[in-house]
Amino acid sequence: MAKQSKKKNKTVNPKLKNNIILSAKNVDVFYGKKQAINNVSFEIPENRITALIGPSGCGKSTFLRCFNRMNDIIDGCKVTGDIRFAGQDIYDPAVDVVSLRARIGMVFQKANPFPKSIFENVAYGPRIHGLAKSKDHLAEIVVSSLKRAGLFDEVADRLHDSGTGLSGGQQQRLCIARAIAVDPQVILMDEPCSSLDPIATAIIEDLMESMKKKYTIVIVTHSMQQAARISQKTAFFHLGDLVEFGDTEDIFMNPKKIRTQNYISGRTG
């Protein structure tokens, strides 16, 4: 799966309808008895940055984690509805979660490099998925991933130092490099800049801009400015509902729903 999908990634998947790579239909998520997501449906286009915005606790992170089934590891979390990745139902019992997560990478809110060397951090994914044919090939993947994450120049001479010794922004880019190294099609980002200063944030935003040629990015963000700056599509969540979804410009300039208007203008949040 991992090997053949590499080729698939290079060209746009012909099966995709209207370039929709991820779709959700009537999705409900429950934590025990509490419902966190109410009947959400929308579609995410390929090679775009889609932002999920909304106040804290609105369920946007929960929803993001449905796409790579990270909610599976939370006890008592139940997802119903239909979520498809390139047309395949990802909650089909026959689906291999491991290869799903290899296709849909994730970057977390808090940079979480393994307490290993920078090289090992990036090499881990390709190694477990058998992507590298040789040691040299592995090193090549690591270097190119670090380059694409814009980190290589800063760490070129200390690839074997611990990844946890980097600064916060560098750590987050290391995590992006680690996700890229597996060669996914989609990268989910869960508030990747929330603990970074504006300079590190700007670097990562530039990085995302350049990454969208190759990857589909879904980003959860607290910052409406960030969503406005980088995304092409925006979904506004409130209290577990998808209030509005559309082109970013429309959402910010011309919101149709009152809840969106209030949030955008800062009256609620």
The distance of closest approach from Cβ of residue 35 to another protein in the complex, given in angstroms and rounded to an integer, is 21
Binding-residue total with another protein (CB under 8 A): 26
Provide, rounded to whole angstroms, the least separation between the CB of residue 192 and another protein. Answer: 13
The minimum distance between CB 74 and another protein, in angstroms, equals: 10
- When the beta carbons of 106 and 220 are compared against another protein, the nearer one is 106
Between the alpha carbon of residue 48 and those of residues 84, 87, 136, 190, the distances in Å are: 17, 18, 33, 16
Token representation of residue 59: 């369920």
Nearer Cβ to another protein, position 171 or 201?
A: 171
Applying CB under 8 A, does 23 fall inside the site for another protein? no
Contact between 114 and another protein per CB under 8 A = yes
User: Min. distance of Cβ 47 from another protein in angstroms?
Assistant: 21
Shortest Cβ 39–another protein spacing (Å): 26
Q: Which 177-236 positions form the footprint of another protein (CB under 8 A)?
A: 178-179, 182
Question: Which residue, 183 or 244, has its beta carbon nearer to another protein?
Answer: 183
* 128 part of the interface to another protein, by CB under 8 A: yes
Q: Site residues for another protein, window 67-96 (CB under 8 A)?
A: 68, 70, 73, 75
Q: Count of alpha carbons within 13 Å of 251, Cβ hemisphere only?
A: 28
**Residue 112 touches another protein, criterion: CB under 8 A:** yes
The minimum distance between CB 7 and another protein, in angstroms, equals 18
User: Tokens 């599976």 — which residue?
Assistant: 72
Q: Which of 3, 12, 80, 98 binds another protein (CB under 8 A)?
A: 98
Residue with tokens 């300079």: 199
Which residues are near another protein by CB under 8 A? 68, 70, 73, 75, 98-102, 105-106, 108, 110, 112-115, 124-125, 128-129, 164, 175, 178-179, 182
